[in-house]
Amino acid sequence: MLINASGLLHKCDEPKPVQAVRAEDSSPAVPSVSVDQDEEKLPVSNAHGSTGSTDSGGAFAAFQSLVASLAPKVDRDEVAAMIKAEMENIVVPTRTVVERLIGDRKIIANSHEKLADVTTDLLSGEHVLMVGPAGTGKSTIAEQAAESLGLPYFSISLSPMTPASQILGYMQAEGEYVRSLFREAYEHGGVFHFDEFDNGHPSVLAVINASLANAQMAFPDQMVKRHDDFRCVASANTYGRGPDRAYVGRQQIDAATLDRFSIETIGVDESLEYSLCMASGLGKDEVLRVLDYVRNLRANAEQRAMTVVISPRASVGMCRLLAAGKTWEAAVESRMRRGMSDKDWGKLCANY
Ligand SMILES: Nc1ncnc2c1ncn2[C@@H]1O[C@H](COP(=O)(O)OP(=O)(O)OP(=O)(O)O)[C@@H](O)[C@H]1O
Ligand SMILES: [Mg+2]
């Protein structure tokens, strides 16, 4: 019989007392065991009370290498090239967002890339002259700019025959004043658009100039004060320096009138053109074929200073005709060639 130092009877199987208690853990009720021994020799208790060992570590490594061998090999450069190629196929037209001071926002999807510039000019109090080839979307920009600003929109198209009375209004024989759209915008505010500005008669442009130069103006019935929210936006195919090869009938615009406007150049927005073509209902591959064709001819016309205008109206028109079942040749004849001589047509189609 063996007696312990404490004087109690010794039992041979008695477990040894716990050796280390975590210093920060002073509660004997929930002891926490810190194990310093070599992991390779002793089992280690995990959070769920199960045990792990050298064997499980090896199995995990084997599992990892198995997963690695099963995963497809990824070549970073190859993936980057694939993403780049896909991105090049994505054509997204500009989405113009106007944040208004009163807290709401106006979003115009499918807008021309220049809508934001024109809207900003108008917002700053400037009048704007948009200059660009036919069919690039100038009139649409004017309308959308008014919408963006939350102002009423008015528009008239000028020609050499447009009389001043269409701007100022006129007095009837009985002495009653007939108001014009311009008077409405001038007096109560709004965006007034003069389409084909460089096609107007010089005497009418002089009236417009006077209306922009002064804060008030004489209408046939009375003097009228210009509203703070009156803005003028004009569109033209030339910069007002007179006719050119493509736009032969255009007027030279007086320098003082031109000086009243900020000028924005409006070119073909190819993303918008693509989107308008897609809206024709023609399949994507055919739309891309039309755009490739039209843009090559457009570049040729420009390089060779030809007088033809190949606007987005031509590409959209071609897509519409093809979607309606016309043959490629018939669509080309109707929308592109349009009676052009063999010589000019050959020049336009060179290298295509
Ligand atoms: N953002 C747009 N969204 C939808 N359709 C558009 C847009 N911009 C232009 N279009 C369409 O494209 C065509 C040409 O546009 P628009 O009349 O505005 O061009 P323009 O530059 O004023 O032409 P022009 O010089 O002949 O007066 C129109 O049929 C118009 O409806
Ligand atoms: Mg127009």
101 shares its domain with 223: yes
Percent of the chain exceeding pLDDT 90 equals 59
Return the pLDDT at 240.
81
123 shares its domain with 235: yes
Q: What is the mean pLDDT of the chain?
A: 83
258 shares its domain with 341: no
Return the pLDDT at 6.
59
205 located within any domain:
yes
Return the pLDDT at 338.
92
Is the shortest distance between the CB of 138 and ligand 1 below 6 Å?
A: yes
Give the pLDDT confidence of 200-213 residue by residue, as tens digits: 999 999 999 999 99
234 shares its domain with 315: no
327 located within any domain:
yes
The C-alpha angle with vertex 329 and arms to 325 and 333, in degrees rounded to 5, equals: 105
Percent of the chain exceeding pLDDT 70 equals 79
Q: In the chain, which ranges are continuous DSSP H helix?
A: 54-70, 76-89, 115-123, 138-149, 165-168, 181-188, 202-213, 255-258, 270-278, 284-303, 312-323, 328-332, 342-348
Give the pLDDT confidence of 270-286 residue by residue, as tens digits: 999 999 999 999 999 99
Give SS3 for 178. strand
Return the pLDDT at 180.
97
| Total domain count, the chain | 2
**Span 60-67, average pLDDT:** 77
Is the shortest distance between the CB of 93 and ligand 1 below 6 Å?
A: no
Is the shortest distance between the CB of 271 and ligand 1 below 6 Å?
A: no
Domain boundary among 224, 240, 265: 265
- Pocket-testing residue among 107, 131, 140, 309, ligand 1, by greatest number of atoms within 8 A of Cβ: 140
214 located within any domain:
yes
100 shares its domain with 214: yes
215 shares its domain with 157: yes
114 shares its domain with 250: yes
123 shares its domain with 245: yes
Paired sense of beta strands 230-236 and 190-195, if any: parallel
> CA torsion angle for 233, 239, 240, 243 (degrees, to 10)?
-130
Domain that holds residue 298: 270-348
Best mean pLDDT range from 35-39, 191-195, 234-238? 191-195
Residue 344 CA to chain centroid, in angstroms?
36
Closest CA to 191 of 223, 237, 220, 148: 148
HSE-CB at 86 with a 13 A cutoff on CA atoms is 6
Ligand 2 centre to CA of 124 (Å) is 23
Domain boundary among 265, 293, 310: 265
Return the pLDDT at 51.
40
Ligand 2 centre to CA of 157 (Å) is 8
Return the pLDDT at 245.
63
Ligand 1 centre to CA of 112 (Å) is 10
CA 153 – CA 149 distance, rounded (Å):
10
Nearest ligand, CA of residue 315?
Answer: 1
